Amino acid sequence: MVAENAVKMVDGTIAESRIVSWVRGQRYLNDQRHGLTLRDWAAMATPHDGLVIERSFP
Protein backbone atom coordinates (compact mmCIF):
# COMPACT_ATOMS: atom_id res chain seq x y z
CA MET A 1 0.00 0.00 0.00
CA VAL A 2 2.85 2.36 0.82
CA ALA A 3 4.65 1.82 -2.48
CA GLU A 4 1.44 2.07 -4.50
CA ASN A 5 0.51 5.39 -2.92
CA ALA A 6 4.07 6.73 -3.16
CA VAL A 7 3.98 6.12 -6.92
CA LYS A 8 0.59 7.85 -7.14
CA MET A 9 2.03 10.84 -5.30
CA VAL A 10 5.07 11.03 -7.61
CA ASP A 11 2.81 10.70 -10.67
CA GLY A 12 0.62 13.52 -9.35
CA THR A 13 -2.59 11.48 -9.24
CA ILE A 14 -3.20 12.18 -5.54
CA ALA A 15 -4.82 15.59 -5.11
CA GLU A 16 -4.85 15.77 -1.30
CA SER A 17 -3.36 14.10 1.76
CA ARG A 18 -5.17 11.00 2.96
CA ILE A 19 -4.87 8.09 5.34
CA VAL A 20 -4.99 4.59 3.86
CA SER A 21 -5.59 1.80 6.38
CA TRP A 22 -5.84 -1.98 6.16
CA VAL A 23 -8.51 -2.91 8.72
CA ARG A 24 -9.24 -6.46 9.85
CA GLY A 25 -12.84 -7.51 10.51
CA GLN A 26 -14.55 -8.27 13.79
CA ARG A 27 -14.03 -12.03 13.47
CA TYR A 28 -10.25 -11.47 13.48
CA LEU A 29 -10.51 -9.25 16.56
CA ASN A 30 -12.61 -11.87 18.35
CA ASP A 31 -9.96 -14.51 17.61
CA GLN A 32 -7.27 -12.30 19.16
CA ARG A 33 -8.98 -11.29 22.38
CA HIS A 34 -12.56 -11.17 23.60
CA GLY A 35 -14.09 -7.71 23.87
CA LEU A 36 -12.11 -5.91 21.16
CA THR A 37 -14.20 -3.67 18.92
CA LEU A 38 -13.60 -1.63 15.81
CA ARG A 39 -13.59 2.14 16.04
CA ASP A 40 -16.43 4.06 14.41
CA TRP A 41 -14.41 4.95 11.31
CA ALA A 42 -13.51 1.27 10.79
CA ALA A 43 -16.92 -0.26 11.51
CA MET A 44 -17.59 -0.90 7.82
CA ALA A 45 -14.93 -3.65 7.97
CA THR A 46 -16.92 -5.66 10.55
CA PRO A 47 -18.26 -8.42 8.25
CA HIS A 48 -15.12 -8.69 6.10
CA ASP A 49 -11.81 -10.51 6.58
CA GLY A 50 -10.08 -7.24 5.83
CA LEU A 51 -10.79 -3.97 4.08
CA VAL A 52 -8.76 -1.04 2.76
CA ILE A 53 -10.25 2.22 4.03
CA GLU A 54 -9.24 5.65 2.75
CA ARG A 55 -9.92 8.76 4.85
CA SER A 56 -9.11 12.42 4.49
CA PHE A 57 -6.07 13.59 6.42
CA PRO A 58 -7.04 16.39 8.81
Residue type, 8: K
Question: Does 58 score more than 90 pLDDT?
Answer: no
Closest listed residue to residue 45, CA positions, set 32, 27, 30: 27
What is the per-residue pLDDT for 29? 96
For residue 42, pLDDT over 90 is answered with: yes
Residue 30 and residue 36 in contact, taking contact as beta carbons nearer than 8 Å: yes
Give the per-residue pLDDT at 49: 96
pLDDT at 14: 87
Q: For the chain, what is the mean pLDDT?
A: 93
Distance, in Å, from the CA atom of 51 to the CA atom of 27, rounded to the nearest integer, reads 13
